[in-house]
């Protein structure tokens, strides 16, 4: 047979391979194989005899490369070893299972009942019922044609040996068919020597590009605190007719910007303290038609108040969302006011919620502007006040608070100069004695982070 070594050819038994046939007939009815040519499995000199193990049940078990060949679930016997068939003096084996063991691709055309087996260097075609095999385009006769047995195509073993160059042997004392197959090595292509590289003159590297001086970027989130002195504050209420330049007043504020839920927010607090004197003529009675007598809340009329330094403490907390640049926010605010007034004729604590708009300073710039405007529609006392004639009730105002100012940075220092103008207006809403105003210019120092 083709492509087999001389030593292996001497050991082959002509089991259904063309002109070579089985030496004695067998009965497939009782499973007797008969007496075949007395050949043995080829052995390596000095090596112990090959042990193929005990053959399992079946007509003629097959050993492929010294291992039992098992069928796939859609082959002759699911999860069982494959077995060859005996037809007269020829042994037939399952075509698909054996060729796939050898790494070949098997395709079947049910219309023509033709099987095509392909593998690099080999192409084998057989047709069910036709006693011939076509190997690499060359037609060769078969003693027994291929047939379909239990849904699988079986072929004489010579198709395996001649088509793939396999070693096939019948071992009579074991009643098994031995198939050995070693794929031919793929020739290694001779590497083509690389072409001789042409010398390339490398130009000198260009001079390094000077590193640009980084430009200060705008800080996306500002944080600062600042304190200011209010010069010449002007106060108008029941204790002061609106004179200016009396006493010192102060303001302080701080703010932080931060991201939340993917949006820029602002939290700010502002404190203002207004200090101003209340004068009296010392008569102690009303009406005196001067500043000694003060309008009381509700319907209590005028009340005599001795001289003292009045103080209004206002705290304004704000929470805002940025709506535009540069740092423009809308927000809500909470105002709490406390005074040092004495007596039940004057409110001492008021509070309420409001809303407004403001622009924070941009402290990464040498100079920036800022401002705020908040409106509190209802600011009321904590509890009921005595309104006279046995009547108690709350005191309420409408309040508008505002500020406008600027900042000036001291180079790269975190300190900056702050200046501006701040004030408010209280409009009587219920039981309040008179309208009020506080305002004045301020200046001070701040620090930003």
Measured between alpha carbons, how far is 161 from 157 in angstroms, rounded to an integer? 7
In the chain, % of residues over pLDDT 70: 76
DSSP codes, 301-323: -EEE---EEEEEEEEEEEEEEEE
**Mean pLDDT on 278-283:** 75
Model pLDDT, residue 34: 30
Residue 364: how many CA atoms within 13 Å on its side-chain side? 12
> How much is the mean pLDDT over the chain?
77
C-alpha neighbours within 13 Å on the C-beta side of residue 444: 17
406/196 Cα distance (integer angstroms): 74
Mean pLDDT across 160-165: 74
pLDDT at 86 (0 to 100):
73
Higher pLDDT, 191 or 3: 191
What tens digit of pLDDT does each residue of 331-387 get?
A: 999 999 999 887 777 878 899 999 999 999 999 899 999 999 999 999 998 877 766
Distance of alpha carbon 168 from alpha carbon 161, whole angstroms:
6
Distance between CA atoms of 245 and 440, rounded to whole angstroms?
9
Backbone angles phi, psi at 241, to 5 degrees: -80, 5
CA–CA gap between residue 214 and residue 207 (Å, rounded): 20
User: Contact 396/403 with Cβ under 8 angstroms?
Assistant: no
Residue 120 confidence class, pLDDT cut points 50, 70, 90: confident
* Residue 43, CA distances (Å) to 47, 51, 120, 128, 432 in order: 7, 11, 29, 36, 123
The pLDDT value given to residue 395: 87
Check whether 21 has a pLDDT greater than 60.
Answer: no
Higher pLDDT residue, 252 or 341? 252
How far does the chain reach from its first CA to its final CA, in angstroms? 94
Q: Find residue 259's DSSP bridge partners.
A: 264
Cα 212–Cα 215–Cα 219 angle in degrees, nearest 5: 150
The alpha carbon dihedral of 315, 321, 323, 325 has a sign of positive
Q: How far apart are CA 434 and CA 428, in angstroms?
A: 6
Percent of the chain past pLDDT 90, that is, above it, reads 31
Q: Where are the beta strands (DSSP E) in 162-290?
A: 167-171, 176-180, 223-230, 234-237, 240-244, 249-260, 263-278
Q: In the predicted model, is pLDDT for residue 78 greater than 50?
A: no
- The region of weakest confidence among 28-37, 70-79, 129-138, 409-418 is 28-37
DSSP string of 375-397? EEEEEEESS-EEEETTEEE--EE
Tell me what pLDDT residue 415 has: 94
pLDDT digits (tens, 9 = 90+) for 26-55: 222 223 333 333 333 344 445 454 444 443
Length of the chain: 449
Nearest to 409 by CA among 359, 361, 360: 361
Average pLDDT over residues 168-189: 73
pTM of the model: 0.52
Above 50 in pLDDT, residue 208?
yes
Poorest-pLDDT segment among 46-55, 134-143, 218-227, 332-341? 46-55
Whether residue 271 has pLDDT greater than 70: yes
Q: Tokens 């949006």, residue?
A: 263
The per-residue pLDDT for 432 is 84
Lowest mean pLDDT among 118-132, 149-163, 392-406: 149-163
Coil, strand or helix: which one is 69?
A: coil
DSSP, collapsed to helix, strand or coil, labels residue 158 as helix
Predicted pLDDT at 226: 97
Pairing of strands 176-180, 147-149: unpaired
Torsion region of 298: left, alpha or beta (phi above 0 gives left; psi -120 to 50 gives alpha): left
What is the token pair recorded at 229?
């002195």
CB contact set of 348 (below 8 Å; sequence gap of 6+): 338, 339, 341, 381
User: For 154-175, what is the mean pLDDT?
Assistant: 77
């Amino acid at each position: 047979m083709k492509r087999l070594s001389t030593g292996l050819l001497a050991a082959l038994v002509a089991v259904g391979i063309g002109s070579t046939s089985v030496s004695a007939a067998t009965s497939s009815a009782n499973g007797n194989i008969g007496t075949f040519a007395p050949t043995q499995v080829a052995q390596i000199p000095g090596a112990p005899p090959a042990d193929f193990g005990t053959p399992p049940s079946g007509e003629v078990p097959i050993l492929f490369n010294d291992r039992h060949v098992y069928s796939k679930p859609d082959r002759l016997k699911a999860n069982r070893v494959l077995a060859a068939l005996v037809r007269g003096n020829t042994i037939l084996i399952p075509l698909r299972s054996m060729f796939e063991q050898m790494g070949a691709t098997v395709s079947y055309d049910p219309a023509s009942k033709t099987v095509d087996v392909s593998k690099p260097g080999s192409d084998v075609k057989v047709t069910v019922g036709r006693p011939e095999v076509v190997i690499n385009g060359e037609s060769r006769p078969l003693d027994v044609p291929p047939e379909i047995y239990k849904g699988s195509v079986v072929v004489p073993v010579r198709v395996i040996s001649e088509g793939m160059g396999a070693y096939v042997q019948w071992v009579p004392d074991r009643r098994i068919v031995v198939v050995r197959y070693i794929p031919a090595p793929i020739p290694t292509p001779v590497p083509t020597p690389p072409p001789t590289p042409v010398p390339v003159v490398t130009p000198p590297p260009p001079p390094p590009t000077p590193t640009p001086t980084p430009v200060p970027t705008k800080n996306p989130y500002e944080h600062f605190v600042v304190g200011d002195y209010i010069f010449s504050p002007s106060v108008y209420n029941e204790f002061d007719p609106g004179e200016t330049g009396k006493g010192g007043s102060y303001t302080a504020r701080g703010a932080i910007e931060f991201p939340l839920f993917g949006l820029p927010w602002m939290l700010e607090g502002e404190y203002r303290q207004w200090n101003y004197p209340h004068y009296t003529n010392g008569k102690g009675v009303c009406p005196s038609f001067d500043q000694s007598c003060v309008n009381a809340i509700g319907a209590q009329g005028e009340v005599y108040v001795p001289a003292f330094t009045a103080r209004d403490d206002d705290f304004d907390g704000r929470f805002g969302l940025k709506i535009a640049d540069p740092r423009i926010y809308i927000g809500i605010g909470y105002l709490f006011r406390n005074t040092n007034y004495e007596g039940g004729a004057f409110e001492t604590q008021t509070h309420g919620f409001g809303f407004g708009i403001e622009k924070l300073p941009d402290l990464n710039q040498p100079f920036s502007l800022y401002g705020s405007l908040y409106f509190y529609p209802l600011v009321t006392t904590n509890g009921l006040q005595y309104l006279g004639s046995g009547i108690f009730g709350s005191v309420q105002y409408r309040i508008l608070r505002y500020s406008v100012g600027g900042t000036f940075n001291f180079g790269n220092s975190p300190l900056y100069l702050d200046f501006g103008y701040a004030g408010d207006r209280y409009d009587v809403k219920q039981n309040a004695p008179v309208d009020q105003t506080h305002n004045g210019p301020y200046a001070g120092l701040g620090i930003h982070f």
